[in-house]
């Protein structure tokens, strides 16, 4: 086997940042199933949260994060996130990320559920892309980082409770190859392609969660999935995210009759947490019999709108919509998962040498609902800690949770689709495990996914591996959502519409030996 000190699976900001940190300590291999440029990061419009203003503080940022998390945040993880934020922003500045400035100082904006402006942005609404390009260029030019594109990791190799390598499929030749290492860092991103309507790119198929589970790692909080309230809804136009920062800068949500409606649902109005806004929009669409609402920025100065949100402005204009004079049709879409591979404050899993970074990880900072723009920050803070931990404690691993569930055999639901396909899976989860959930719908999804899992053939290529991973990850999501008989954060059950103190706990899955 070719040997490396670090193997990083994934090439978004998590994988790239971790690679650039780890190269100072040893050789690094990045394995990515597509191009190094294919990732969720470049679609992150809003920005990155950090308490760098003289009017702000890590304590205030921590309070906002815990409030959004609906009782399930790990306070110590949040403290680490908010206190180490400024140093990690400094790292990005050193790498050359061109954050927007005003009068020589980094510009800050406000987003929903933040009590003060603390969102840094770059290129207006191109923050993710600017960070991704900057780090990608740095990784490509490094002599200590090897990048394997169009190479799919299909197995994490584990011996006596510790990792020793990765098996990967060359997607061009179809050949299998094993790579040895001291550490594996999962940085594969999210699971948004589970749903029919999503802001995520095609690569977000939950591969890292499936890999980790099969290797023996614990998976937690999978019922908590965030739906972004505002994705562009134009006939025949690809789904496009309309940043939450648009509302932060003064955008107003209106219904089909042009009425401002959010205050009818919450006193926080347009700047309520994402889960509240998404459900409010769904309720308003149902009440008015439409499939969209509208985001209105026509009252703002046109030059400010086009300068602050150049990507959104240009994309809409390319599709014959001038947002400075016409309202933006929007509806919710699947966006971000709070759950994932259970990781501690150093990104460690219960398998020695296996770390999880970014959206694939569940560090406890997001709880039941992610505070806007904390995701990019989480990547930097815990990515740095992963590399620091690997330097100090080569054989460390967190202990397995005392209570963990395994996926059970389930009966076939004859009323569900009988043929497994990506389209059928996405429709099943959108309809039954989406923004509004119920026992009946979740039971249908659980039974169908369990039956589909039995029908899976041995994967041989990227689509078949991805489909198998999505069925498995879909099972975690629906089983946990069925088990959690309450509503909390992004998880809403119409049959259990209130939170319950009995559910101030986490659901953890671990594969039976």
- 8 A C-beta contact, residue 28 and residue 207: no
Q: What is the pLDDT of residue 25?
A: 95
Mean pLDDT, residues 411-437 taken together: 85
* The two structure tokens encoding residue 193: 């392609």
* The two structure tokens encoding residue 388: 């620091």
Which element (helix H / strand E) includes 6?
A: strand 2-9
Pairing of strands 340-342, 361-362: parallel
CA 135 – CA 127 distance, rounded (Å): 12
For residue 264, give the DSSP letter: G
Place of tokens 């934020």: 85
Q: Give the largest Cα separation in the chain, rounded.
A: 64
For residue 409, give the DSSP letter: P
Q: What is the pLDDT of residue 412?
A: 55
Mean of pLDDT over the chain: 93
Q: Please tell me the least confidently modeled range out of 180-189, 272-281, 469-478.
A: 272-281
Q: What is the pLDDT of residue 68?
A: 92
Q: What is the pLDDT of residue 403?
A: 76
Q: Which residue has the higher pLDDT, 481 or 37?
A: 481
Judge whether residue 105 has pLDDT over 70.
yes
Q: For residue 136, give the 3-state DSSP assignment.
A: helix
Mean pLDDT, residues 424-440 taken together: 97
Q: Please tell me the least confidently modeled range out of 38-42, 131-135, 321-325.
A: 38-42
Instruction: Give the bridge partners for 101, in sequence order.
Output: 106
Give Cβ neighbours of residue 299 (< 8 Å, ≥ 6 apart).
Answer: 250, 252
- 8 A C-beta contact, residue 45 and residue 373: no
Q: What is the pLDDT of residue 443?
A: 95
Range list for CATH 3.50.50.60 in the chain: 1-224+338-400
CA 391 – CA 396 distance, rounded (Å): 11
- 8 A C-beta contact, residue 413 and residue 89: no
Report CA Rg, the chain: 22
Q: In what order do the strands lie in the sheet with 225-232?
A: 225-232, 328-337, 293-296, 252-254
Q: Which CATH architecture has domain 1-224+338-400?
A: 3-Layer(bba) Sandwich (3.50)
Percentage of the chain surpassing pLDDT 90?
84
- 8 A C-beta contact, residue 356 and residue 340: yes
Mean pLDDT, residues 397-410 taken together: 75
Q: Please tell me the least confidently modeled range out of 19-28, 110-119, 124-133, 428-437.
A: 124-133
Q: Name the phi and psi angles at 186, rounded to 5.
A: -80, 125
pLDDT-derived band at 255 (thresholds 50, 70, 90) equals: very high
Q: DSSP for 124-135?
A: TT-HHHHHHHHH
For residue 112, give the DSSP letter: T
Percentage of the chain surpassing pLDDT 70?
95
CA-CA-CA-CA torsion sign (248, 110, 70, 128): positive
pLDDT-derived band at 406 (thresholds 50, 70, 90) equals: confident
CATH fold of the domain at 226-335: Flavocytochrome C3; Chain A, domain 1 (3.90.700)
Whole-number Cα distances in Å, 55 to 89, 107, 331, 483: 17, 13, 34, 42
pLDDT-derived band at 398 (thresholds 50, 70, 90) equals: confident
CA 362 – CA 509 distance, rounded (Å): 13
Which element (helix H / strand E) includes 144?
A: none
CA 140 to chain centre: 25
Q: What is the pLDDT of residue 274?
A: 85
Q: Please tell me the least confidently modeled range out of 3-17, 319-333, 415-429, 470-484.
A: 415-429
Q: What is the pLDDT of residue 36?
A: 83
Give Cβ neighbours of residue 350 (< 8 Å, ≥ 6 apart).
Answer: 216, 217, 218, 342, 397, 398, 399, 400, 401, 510
Mean pLDDT, residues 148-166 taken together: 97
- 8 A C-beta contact, residue 497 and residue 487: yes
pLDDT-derived band at 32 (thresholds 50, 70, 90) equals: very high
User: Is 274 known to be catalytic?
Assistant: yes
- pLDDT tens string 193-234: 999 999 998 999 999 999 999 999 999 999 999 999 999 999
Range list for CATH 3.90.700.10 in the chain: 226-335
- pLDDT tens string 488-503: 999 999 999 999 999 9
Judge whether residue 38 has pLDDT over 80.
no
Q: What is the pLDDT of residue 245?
A: 86
Residue 190: exposed, middle, or buried by beta-carbon count in 10 A (0-12, 13-18, 19+)?
buried
- 8 A C-beta contact, residue 452 and residue 425: yes
For residue 277, give the DSSP letter: H
CA 195 – CA 425 distance, rounded (Å): 8
Q: What is the pLDDT of residue 416?
A: 54
Q: Looking at 118, 130, 233, 274, which residue is catalytic?
A: 274
- pLDDT tens string 346-384: 999 999 999 999 999 999 999 999 998 999 999 999 999
Q: Which residue has the higher pLDDT, 335 or 245?
A: 335
């Amino acid at each position: 086997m070719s040997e490396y000190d670090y193997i990083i699976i994934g090439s978004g900001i998590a994988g790239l940042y971790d690679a650039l940190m780890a190269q100072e300590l040893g050789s690094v291999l990045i394995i990515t199933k597509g191009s190094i440029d294919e990732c969720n990061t470049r679609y992150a419009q809003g920005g990155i949260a950090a308490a760098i203003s003289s009017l702000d503080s890590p304590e205030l940022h921590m309070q906002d994060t815990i409030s959004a998390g609906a009782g399930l945040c790990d306070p110590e993880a949040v403290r680490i996130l908010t206190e180490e934020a400024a140093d990690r922003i400094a790292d990005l500045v050193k790498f050359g990320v061109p954050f927007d400035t005003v009068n020589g100082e980094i510009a800050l904006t406000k987003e929903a559920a933040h009590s003060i402006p603390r969102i840094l942005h770059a290129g207006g609404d191109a923050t993710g892309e600017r960070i991704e390009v900057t780090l990608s260029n740095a990784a490509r030019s490094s002599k200590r980082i090897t990048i394997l594109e169009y190479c799919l990791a299909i197995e994490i190799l584990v011996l006596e409770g510790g990792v020793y390598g990765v098996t990967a499929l060359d997607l061009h030749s179809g050949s299998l190859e094993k790579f040895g290492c001291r550490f594996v860092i999962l940085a594969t991103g999210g699971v948004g392609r589970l749903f029919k309507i999503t802001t995520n790119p095609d690569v977000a198929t939950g591969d890292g969660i499936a890999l980790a589970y099969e290797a023996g790692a614990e998976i937690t909080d999978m019922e908590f999935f965030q739906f972004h309230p505002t994705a562009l809804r134009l006939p025949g136009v690809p789904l496009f995210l309309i940043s939450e920062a648009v509302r932060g800068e003064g955008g107003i949500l209106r219904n089909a009759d042009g009425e401002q409606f959010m205050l009818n649902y919450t006193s926080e109005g347009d700047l309520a947490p994402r889960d509240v806004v998404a459900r409010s929009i769904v309720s308003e669409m149902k009440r008015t019999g439409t499939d969209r609402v509208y985001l209105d920025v026509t009252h703002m100065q046109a030059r400010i709108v086009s300068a602050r949100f150049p990507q959104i402005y240009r994309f809409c204009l390319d599709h014959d919509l001038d947002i400075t004079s016409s309202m933006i049709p929007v509806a919710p879409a699947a966006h971000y998962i709070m759950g994932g591979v259970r990781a501690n404050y150093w990104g460690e899993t219960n398998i020695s040498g296996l770390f999880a970074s970014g959206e694939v990880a569940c560090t406890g900072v997001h709880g039941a609902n992610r505070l806007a723009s904390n995701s990019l920050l989480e990547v930097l803070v815990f990515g740095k800690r992963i590399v620091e931990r690997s330097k100090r404690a080569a054989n460390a691993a967190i202990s397995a949770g005392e209570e963990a569930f395994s996926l059970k055999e389930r009966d076939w639901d004859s009323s569900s689709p009988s043929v497994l396909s990506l389209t059928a899976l996405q429709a099943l989860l959108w309809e039954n495990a989406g923004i509004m959930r119920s026992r009946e719908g979740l039971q249908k999804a659980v039974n169908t996914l369990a039956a589909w899992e039995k029908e899976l053939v041995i994967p041989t290529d990227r689509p078949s591996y991805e489909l198998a991973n999505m069925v498995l990850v879909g099972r975690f999501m629906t089983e946990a959502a069925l088990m959690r008989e309450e509503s909390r954060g992004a998880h809403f059950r119409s049959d259990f519409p209130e939170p319950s103190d009995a559910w101030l706990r986490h659901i953890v899955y671990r594969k039976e030996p």
